[in-house]
Amino acid sequence: MFGWIWSLFDWLFSFGRANTKIVILGLDNAGKTTLLGVMKNNRVGTYDPTKHPQIAEMLIGSSRITAIDMGGHRAARRLWRDYCTGAGGIVFMVDASDLSRFQEAAFELDGLLRSSELEHTPVLILGNKIDDHRAVSEHELVEALGITERRCNKPRHTLERSVEVFMCSIVRKAGFVEGLRWLLRQVESSR
């Protein structure tokens, strides 16, 4: 009955909060939808492959975040740049335990990093599934993705675009929070 009143209060008090669009990208089966579920509901779930963009809105600190999970199958990848336009930040997820797909992930990531439309957009790379014994180290992932010269090395950077890698396990809820904090700091500092 009073739901509309709370919606009105939320709308009124949302002024002054920063609105940020974050796009979650990566190959299929990297953990993007699981990350979105954890961010939104703080729950790990099992999800069908993403066929259409999934959008979730949430408050993180003083920022109102609109997170978009684009899916990672080939057809979805053709739309990535369209959804990235106007994004405050990009999360690029890589399954750190699937070495057979590193070259494909590197190719897609390189395309994003070379895009002139996204040249000022910070990119957080999450090396997911470190709970799997086949997962590579951060150094090995950075080498495999070919981003050694592009990353900003967490404490400081001199590059125009901020690119950083954080290793994580979404199902164990470990490592990605630090990465998201880093990304939001980059977004805030670019405003």
Assigned domain for 7 exists: no
Strands 54-60 and 63-69: antiparallel
Apex 70 CA angle, 115 and 21, nearest 5: 70
| Domain annotation covers residue 8 | no
pLDDT for 122 equals: 94
Asked if residue 161 belongs to a domain, the reply is yes
In residues, how long is the chain?
191
User: What is the residue range of 97's domain?
Assistant: 18-189
Residues in CB range of 36: below 8 A, 6 or more apart: 24, 54, 56, 67, 69
Residue 4 lies in a domain: no
Average of per-residue pLDDT across 105-129: 93
CA 18 from chain centre, in angstroms, equals 18
Q: What is the pLDDT of residue 157?
A: 45
CATH code for the domain of 148: 3.40.50.300
The reply to whether 104 falls in a domain is yes
In a domain, 140, yes or no: yes
**Residue 10 domain-assigned?**
no
Residue 111 pLDDT greater than 80, yes or no = yes
Within a domain: residue 145?
yes
pLDDT at 11: 45
Q: Which residues contact 6 (CB under 8 A, 6 or more apart)?
A: none
Predicted local confidence at residue 141, as pLDDT: 97
Give the mean model confidence (pLDDT) for residues 88-104. Answer: 96
Report the helix count and the strand count for the chain, using DSSP H and E.
Answer: 7, 6
| 51-66: pLDDT as tens digits | 677 888 888 777 788 9
Dmax (CA) of the chain: 56
Note the Cα 133 to chain centre separation in Å: 23
Q: What is the CA radius of gyration of the chain?
A: 17
Which pLDDT score is estimated for 7? 47
- Burial class from Cβ neighbours inside 10 Å (0-12, 13-18, 19+) for residue 96 reads buried
Total number of domains in the chain: 1
Residue 66's CB: how many other CB atoms inside 10 A? 15
The model's pLDDT over 154-180, given as tens digits with 9 standing for 90+, comes to 444 444 568 999 999 999 999 999 999
